[in-house]
Amino acid sequence: MGTAPMWLVILTAVTAVTGQEDLYRKVFVFREDPSDAYVLLQARPEHPMQNFTVCLRSYTDLTRPHSLFSYATKAQDNEILLFKPKPGEYRFYVGGKYVTFRVPENRGEWEHVCVSWESGAGIAEFWLNGRPWPRKGLQKGYEVGNEAVVMLGQEQDAYGGGFDVYNSFTGEMADVHLWDSGLSPDKMRSAYLALRLPPALLAWGRLRYEAKGDVVVKPRLREALGG
């Protein structure tokens, strides 16, 4: 037998990898507040990324800071991070630097967020519930490493760990996707509406994950669309 691929070594050092699952009309429920729970995702781009898009849907009544999506490499723990420091504000990190997007405060509804980054122009996009916010400059010429630990619900302050439970997510999360490319405006809106999407590194309809701690998969209780 040959040597195990690097991505397998990285992920099995943290936990076992499960089989593929279709999570259509299902959600991850992070039950405790604060929490040490997280969901480890299997995704490894073939090459360092100069473009990417992350989309997900979340439902929470938290008012404290919390992490939604964390992609850490050995060189940079905030290689990609989608973080909400307070109601009405999102921070989008690439390579340890971030831009802030201010949004209306949530009124007890699901929020669908897509963030996209383009290295060549150094442009960050932010979409909330199918609508774009003004674009901002971020990390022109940077490359995102492709050997990473990817997780939902915790911010990695070290490669695969270093959690602060008071930055953990509590609530429900669904429709998580990661592409190693930008998406057109039509596809950004399709992601919000849960329509047909291009093949992805991480796709909710065939997600490979391992739930760690007090997080469970349950049917969605209410329609997430419509804000």
pLDDT digits (tens, 9 = 90+) for 123-147: 999 999 999 999 999 999 999 999 9
Mean local confidence (pLDDT), 32-42: 97
Question: Which is it for strands 215-219 and 80-86: parallel, antiparallel or unpaired?
Answer: unpaired
Task: Identify the pLDDT of residue 222.
Answer: 74
With contact defined as beta carbons under 8 Å apart, do 215 and 39 qualify?
yes
With contact defined as beta carbons under 8 Å apart, do 201 and 179 qualify?
yes
Average pLDDT over the chain, rounded to an integer = 91
Structure tokens at 56: 């997900």
Give the residue carrying structure tokens 């050997």. 147
Q: In which band, very low, low, confident or very high, does the pLDDT at 30 lie, cut at 50, 70 and 90?
A: very high
Mean local confidence (pLDDT), 107-115: 95
Task: Identify the pLDDT of residue 18.
Answer: 59
Name the more confident of 21 and 89: 89
Domain ranges of the chain: 40-219
CATH of 40-219, one of 2.60.120.200, 1.20.120.10, 2.60.40.1170, 2.60.40.790: 2.60.120.200
Nearest to 27 by CA among 219, 227, 215: 219
pTM: 0.90
Task: Identify the pLDDT of residue 224.
Answer: 62
Task: Identify the pLDDT of residue 13.
Answer: 35
Chain-centroid distance, C-alpha 188: 15
